[in-house]
Amino acid sequence: MTHQQMLDLIQQLNDYSYAYHVKDEPIVPDAVYDRDYRQLQSIEAEHPEWIQADSPTQRVGEKPDSGFTNVAHTVPMLSLDNAFDNESLADFDQRIRKLLNAEQVTYCCEPKLDGLAISLRYEEGRLVRGVTRGDGLSGEDITSNIKTIYSVPLKLRTKTPPAVLEVRGEIYMPKEGFEKLNALAVEQGEKTFVNPRNAAAGSLRQLDPKVTAKRPLVMCAYSIGYVEGWEQPESHYAGLLQLSEWGFRTNDLMITAEGAQGCIDYYEKLNEKRASLSYDIDGIVYKVDQIALQNQLGFIARAPRWAIARKFPAQEEMTRILGVDFQV
């Protein structure tokens, strides 16, 4: 087999994997994937110098010599305020309409997956780092474990990737995978996990990627973080559709809705579906869909709503007011 034939085989295996793990639409039986994967392994054994970073054989590497290093997020990963009833959703919408002086606001509504938030960094379309949310300002570098997750693309599916792209998403363990993992743990007399969220957290904290590789983890993208060299779409929803084309899994129950009533209707509908979903959700995240409006609204940035400072006038002002020099 030539070098080009190997490159084509890698592309084909990555296309199979995208269809199966990202679009939930397998295009070949597992046996075909396994046969082609083994063929790639034997070529790479023959020509190690041909090995590519986005080859599926590169997903499971060696464990990092020491623990996980701490990395600062380029753009902080924020927290989310909570609304506990429809009235506070209406208050949220009213506050926003007032601040924007807008008649009606379109929201992107996403199931709130009950997993772990992470941030993935791609440079020239290649995955270079995966970091946990941590305290929002910095997190743990778990790149070696992130690479074992099939729904995390090792390379973006575009010939013209942004120079730098940071994608935020949730890593979760579907209910079925969780049940099987616990059944296996019981069989092997090992500890079981209390819920899929803890199982996902425990799986990502494994020092050995070979262990993480055996855990049924899924990554679902929910926002674009830092970007260089790419004109972001105007709407959050459109941004997520773009991520889906580039190889990321997004949630198929995500919609845009108009105003507070649209958000409340979606809540009622999703609440009925919740028990039948193949993964745990602990709510819904509503986001103003237009990026320009998000920027206009900004953040109650990292500042706690429960504390406030009362500042003294600046020193020189005191001198002016009191006519005495405060420089003691």
Ligand X SMILES: CC(C)(C)c1nc(N2CCN(c3ncccn3)CC2)c2cc(C(N)=O)c(N)nc2n1
Nearest distance in Å: CB 227, ligand X: 14
**C-beta of residue 151 within 8 angstroms of C-beta of residue 117:** no
Q: Are 189 and 222 in contact (CB under 8 A)?
A: no
Question: Which positions ≥6 away from 300 have C-beta within 8 Å?
Answer: 81
| Angstrom distance (rounded) from CA 193 to CA 199 | 5
CA distance 294 to 166: 18
CB of 233 to ligand X, least distance (A): 15
Catalytic positions, please? 112
Q: Which amino acid appears at position 189 of this protein? A: G
Q: From CA 63, how far away is CA 144, in angstroms rounded? A: 7
**Which residue lies nearer to ligand X by CB, 213 or 221?**
221
Taking phi first (over 0 means left), then psi (-120 to 50 degrees means alpha), and beta for anything else, what does residue 229 get? Answer: left
Shorter beta-carbon distance to ligand X: residue 44 or 280: 280
27 vs 75 by CB, closer to ligand X? 75
CB within 8 Å of 286: residues ≥ 6 apart: 89, 92, 107, 108, 109, 263
> What count of other Cβ atoms lies within 10 Å of the Cβ of residue 243?
21
179 within 8 A of 232, measured Cβ to Cβ: no
* Closer Cβ to ligand X, 121 or 287, answer by number: 287
CB of 263 vs ligand X, minimal distance in Å = 14
Torsion sign, CA atoms 253, 255, 257, 263:
positive
Task: Give the three-class secondary structure for 258.
Answer: strand
Based on CB atoms, which residue is closest to ligand X, 16 or 107? Answer: 107
CB 128, min distance to ligand X, A: 21
By the criterion CB under 6 A, which residues form the site for ligand X? 78-80, 110, 112-113, 117, 133, 170, 222-223, 285, 287
Structure tokens at 9: 């085989």
Helix (H/G/I), strand (E/B), else coil: 77: coil
Question: Cβ of residue 260: shortest distance to ligand X, in angstroms?
Answer: 18
Minimum distance from residue 155 beta carbon to ligand X (Å): 24
Would you say 40 or 254 has its CB closer to ligand X? 254
Which DSSP symbol is given to 66? S
